[in-house]
């Protein structure tokens, strides 16, 4: 297929590489062209703006950083909505606000366009290996049209209902991850002070009821002092803030998630480590 892709960050790069490996023709746009060099070297074509990345493609995907970035690439000058046609399916994969996904859906439908919100989970490893889990909201018919394409980089695709429900599912996912990240950090801090072999601790905990994705994937990185981002800490903080905003709208109290947000605010806002990976949370205990 012919695919337009806006956003060549850590996750987007892995997804685009898998699309290229599967034989698709991919045209990309990124705010900083240098960050797209890897996929350009692998065969992707460059577009000068989101509209140019949209034109003449079957599917247009986007994965950027923040809700305001989503608004810019869709509604801004040379935006996606200005160039899209009714023959295309737009796939908004940024983890963003459910309300924004619903607004995009309304505005797209008014123009006769087709859009789904489809955030993913699995980090840089999942993007690279093509094993992401996708959470989808929008018209199920639109999803079914492009499911074979989505399976080229996703091992699981879950449909949750109308526009915005994919984003709500991603918020639930991030709430769960908040618990595993804080749990892993405090577990390692405790084990270190207790003078335990941390590699053996990770191996032991991963073999029992404490097993979880964060520990298996980020624990070894922490022991190597590797804080390169599989997922940026600043983006995770954004997600936790959105989750708590949505919970407040639903009159739901999430104290543990509030505590995780507070810790990530220290990491990102006070220590200035937002461009590190989420595993850098351990820095609050280790340095």
Active site residues: 170
- For 265, half-sphere exposure in the C-beta direction (CA atoms, 13 angstrom radius) is 8
What is d(CA 272, CA 236) in angstroms, rounded to the nearest whole number?
14
Q: Which of 61, 51, 42 is nearest to 2 (CA)?
A: 61
Joined tokens for residue 25 = 């023709």
For residues 122 and 143, the answer to whether their CB atoms sit within 8 Å is no
- Reduced to 3 states, what is the DSSP secondary structure of residue 9? coil
Joined tokens for residue 3 = 């695919």
Which residues have CB under 8 Å from 243's CB, separation 6+? Answer: 171, 174, 175, 254, 257
Burial of 77 (0-12, 13-18, 19+ CB in 10 A): exposed
Residue with tokens 């937002």: 274
Q: How many CB atoms lie within 10 A of CB 23?
A: 8
For residues 122 and 133, the answer to whether their CB atoms sit within 8 Å is yes
What is d(CA 274, CA 280) in angstroms, rounded to the nearest whole number?
9
Query: In the beta sheet, which residues pair with residue 246?
Result: none
Joined tokens for residue 162 = 């109308």
Joined tokens for residue 228 = 């390169």
């Amino acid at each position: 297929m012919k695919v337009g892709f806006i956003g060549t960050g850590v996750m987007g790069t892995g997804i685009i590489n898998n699309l290229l490996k599967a034989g698709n023709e991919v045209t990309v746009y990124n705010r900083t062209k240098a960050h797209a060099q890897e996929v350009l070297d692998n065969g992707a074509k460059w577009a000068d703006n989101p509209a140019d990345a949209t034109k003449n493609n079957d599917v247009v995907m986007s994965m950027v950083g923040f809700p305001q970035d989503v608004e810019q690439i869709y509604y801004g000058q040379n935006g996606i909505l200005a160039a899209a046609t009714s023959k295309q399916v737009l796939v908004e994969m940024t983890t963003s606000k459910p309300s924004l996904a619903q607004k995009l859906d309304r505005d797209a439908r008014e123009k006769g366009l087709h859009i789904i919100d489809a955030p993913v989970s699995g980090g840089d490893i999942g993007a690279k290996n093509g094993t992401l889990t996708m959470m989808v909201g929008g018209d199920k018919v639109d999803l079914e049209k492009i499911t074979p394409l989505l399976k080229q980089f996703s091992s699981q695709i879950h449909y949750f209902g109308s526009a915005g429900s994919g984003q709500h599912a991603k918020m639930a996912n991030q709430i769960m991850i908040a618990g595993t990240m804080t749990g892993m950090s405090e577990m390692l801090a405790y084990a270190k002070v207790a003078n335990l072999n941390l590699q053996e601790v990770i191996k032991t905990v991963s073999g029992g009821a404490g097993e979880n994705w964060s520990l298996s994937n980020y624990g070894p990185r922490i022991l190597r002092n590797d804080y390169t981002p599989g997922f940026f800490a600043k983006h995770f903080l954004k997600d936790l803030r959105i989750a708590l905003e949505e919970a407040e709208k639903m009159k739901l109290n999430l104290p543990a998630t509030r505590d995780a947000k507070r810790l990530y605010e220290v990491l990102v806002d006070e220590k200035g480590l937002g461009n590190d990976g989420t595993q850098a949370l351990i820095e609050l205990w280790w340095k």
